Structure 1
Amino acid sequence: MPALKVGASGEGRESIGAMGERVNSKADQVYDELKEAILAGALDPGAPIDKIALCERLGVSRFPVSAAVSRLAFESLVVIEPQHGSFVARISGAEVRERMFIRRALECEIAAEAARRLPKDGFLALEENLARGREAVDAGDRPRFYAQDVGFHQVLTTHLGLHRSSEVLDGLRTHLERVRRMLMLPQGRIRETLAEHSEIVAAIKAGDVGRARAAMDRHLAVTAENFESFARERPELISA
């Protein structure tokens, strides 16, 4: 193959750059689609990932697919077994419990801090979030409610200026997202979550530090309890 010549104008460099961007764009497309399928439960833990089928369906070469799978393996969502293939990672019970433990400790104190000093625009953002959450529940729109659920907790850290705490929670949330969606599959749980959010907001608006902390603790305790029930019912999806 002849060497690629780079002219004085940099045309060759631009071609290489454009080619790299196209490859990255395709890898990002595969990554986004595959990650969403895993998080949404369309691919069960332990399910094999058919790279050839992905290439054919998305109209891409093997490289973007392999790059996306490697990226998901780094995020512990995929397990690559040499000579055997790639599989959706089973949910680590130990990791979920520890991440829930950390999140609970941090979010309870954030709720307490919000009761002490959340500014007016923070209250307005919480009320708007609750309103949009109700709309999503009434419409049976799960994806929209999932977004509002995440947004509810982000409102607190954003309006309190707790940027480092927000980064920590975002990292925890990424690893807990698959579990969160599985636990919210029953429609009743979505309504319960909305009611729990409303109680947290009421406590914060009242400026009751202890009540706000307790309301957040109850909210996250339910999630932990539901995970244990889920782990007992579907042990094949959970690793130790």
Structure 2
Amino acid sequence: MTTYETASETDVTDLMAGKQITLDEMTVELAAIELRLRQLARAAEVPDTPVELADTIDSLRATARSVKETGERMGLLARVVAGDVPLARKFGGSDDPWGVAARTSDREDFGGPAIVPTQWQLLKLAQDAKRADARGEETTTYPEAMAGLGIGWESKAASARRRRERDAAVAVEVLTIPCATCQAGDGEQCRTKKGWAAEQPHVGRQREAEAAVDARLGYLGDMPVPVPDAR
């Protein structure tokens, strides 16, 4: 199902001091949300109208607990990326490196090099570091392992969002281009030989629309070009 972002949803400037949000900022914001949910649950115990809100109160408190767990995880990750938490140099039970060291590796069993680790991989590496330290093995830190990486990097979520935005722009652009196959004009959908309207345009029209949008948005084929200031 297609989802559309509202203007309020995209206005995130108050969440961050710089151009991008830090994990530390996420941690504090989540703590504030968790507290607000608990306060709302408490206030809901005494509504101004006699309505029993027990189920809603329980739901609010359950959501607050989930947000708290996420916030605590972000707090630990904030310490990890700051270099305060030792990390294993390789994934437990294997010789597979990560970060800069994974650039030249071939981790076929794990779907490719973990150059940019996931949050779960980082938490696992923190756990593995404790065992490595007990064995007298060297550990590393996030800043050390990721030194030189990050320029032009974009998260999967951001890339997927930009892909949706691109596809939506193409759908609009298609209707501005006459179709050489069925002669559909400006604002008209393509039609079959029998004259039935179709939401899927003919290939030539679709290709022309994609080329125009990609040039405007800065895409190269199916992949976006490096994102300025991305990390």
TM-score normalised according to structure 1 size: 0.28
Which of the pair has more CA radius of gyration? Answer: 2
Q: From the two aligned structures, give the one with the greater helix fraction.
A: 1
Structure ranking higher on relative contact order (CA contacts 8 Å, 6+ apart): 1
TM-score, with normalisation over the residues of structure 2? Answer: 0.29
